[in-house]
Amino acid sequence: MNNNGKTMKWDSAFYQDKHGFVAEYGKELLKYIFDSAPGHILDIGCGTGTLTGIMSGLGHQVTGIDASPDMVLNARNHHPAIDFLVMDACDIPWENTFDIVFSNAVFHWISNQKKLLSSIYRALKPGGKLIAEMGASGNIESIQKAFEAISRQYGYQYQSPFFFPSSTEYGSMLEHAGFHVIFLEEFDRPTPLEEAGDGLKNWIRQFFANDLEHFTPEICNAIIRDVEETLKGKLWNGTRWIADYRRLRIIAEKPVP
């Protein structure tokens, strides 16, 4: 058995409570927005709208899109003055519309990267920029390896739903889609998980939810306990779990013809 490529179910309240660090780290990416003149920004995978709200507060006209209706509902409730839409990032309907397409921690969820990049390229104005960050090659490697090995002992074949490219690989994909690459950097970003001792458990329950659905609650608990045991020497610092995140930061321009 495997997860059959099912889409992720997002509980926006649980996500904001237990994984708020995603938007916190995303604030680092906003430094590239601080330098930009007020313009029209598309925030892909806006989630509950934390970063969209900050960009709007900086004077930009911002539209947030997310594939999850629950996230969009939550974002609208928090930021009623901003446009939030449920939308597939591979099928953005606008052309030559945005000065910036922004995205934090979302691209690695999208399997059709060719479609994603051409959708973004179309949506940007000539001279417009893609400013994004995603998981890089080696991201969460030890967590995936441990989960794969332990769930296999229970007859399950874990297949990673994520796309974590190297900078070389993604650079050529961007160029192939027509972009001029301005900046592309891969780096380690060890990430403390929230809720101390429960951090890894919460993370696994959120992000491997489709895989865990195949097991009884007792077996889920046993798998999580064994993953924790396996990773304790590597990811537990004595007070918190530190996930082995690696990031790929991207700035690319749609050339002016």
- Residues lying near ligand BEZ in the complex (CB under 6 A) are found at 105, 108, 135, 139-140, 162, 207, 245
Give least dist CB 171 to ligand BEZ, A: 19
Residue type, 65: I
Give least dist CB 245 to ligand BEZ, A: 5
- At residue 240, the 3 state secondary structure works out as coil
Q: Which is nearer to ligand BEZ, 124 or 200 (CB)?
A: 200
- Please list, in sequence order, all residues whose beta carbon lies within 8 angstroms of the beta carbon of residue 121, skipping any fewer than 6 positions away: 177, 178, 179, 254
Residue type, 170: Y
Q: Which is nearer to ligand BEZ, 193 or 252 (CB)?
A: 193
Q: Which is nearer to ligand BEZ, 138 or 171 (CB)?
A: 138
Place of tokens 């609208």: 76
| Contact status, residue 143 vs residue 209, Cβ threshold 8 Å | no
Q: Which is nearer to ligand BEZ, 67 or 124 (CB)?
A: 67
Supply the DSSP symbol for 157. -
| Contact status, residue 253 vs residue 127, Cβ threshold 8 Å | yes
Give least dist CB 176 to ligand BEZ, A: 24
Q: Which is nearer to ligand BEZ, 101 or 143 (CB)?
A: 143
- At residue 162, the 3 state secondary structure works out as coil
Q: How far is CA 188 from CA 148, 192, 207, in A?
A: 22, 13, 20
Give least dist CB 122 to ligand BEZ, A: 26
Q: Which is nearer to ligand BEZ, 47 or 135 (CB)?
A: 135
Give least dist CB 108 to ligand BEZ, A: 6
Nearest residue to ligand BEZ, using CB? 135
Give least dist CB 29 to ligand BEZ, A: 12
Q: Which helix (H) or strand (E) holds 130?
A: strand 124-135
Q: Which helix (H) or strand (E) holds 63?
A: strand 61-66
Residue 19: what are its φ and ψ, rounded to 5°?
-130, 30
